[in-house]
Amino acid sequence: MCKSVMCSRNIFSLKQRIKVPIIDFRSSTLEKQMEEAYTTCGFAVFTSVYDSWLSEFSDWQQLMEEFFEQSSKVKNKYSYSGVADNLGYNCA
């Protein structure tokens, strides 16, 4: 599926209309579609990219919520060092 978009990129002061392909990441022809997109207009929009990772994102969100529910005393054990202002926690 392609949608026309106005390309604001000026080439010799010309504006040109290009079609940016929308590619389903689960497609059996993914590689062929990517090659076509990147060798023609140079851009692509992907759908279904993170579908297989959704459960991992949910797990990550749960872990982050558990971490931030802890007391400041516990979280400060993971504060960044070597900076003037602590901008967050280092969970390494």
Q: How many domains does the chain have?
A: 1
pLDDT in tens, 30-70: 999 999 999 988 889 999 888 777 788 888 889 989 988 99
Residue 21 lies in a domain: yes
Residue 41 lies in a domain: yes
Dihedral of alpha carbons 79, 82, 86, 90, sign: negative
Range of the domain at 32: 2-78
Question: Does the pLDDT at position 14 exceed 70?
Answer: no
Q: Which of 5, 4, 9, 3 is nearest to 23 (CA)?
A: 3
Higher pLDDT, 68 or 90: 68
Residue 91 lies in a domain: no
Residue 84 lies in a domain: no
d(CA 89, CA 92): 9
d(CA 54, CA 91): 22
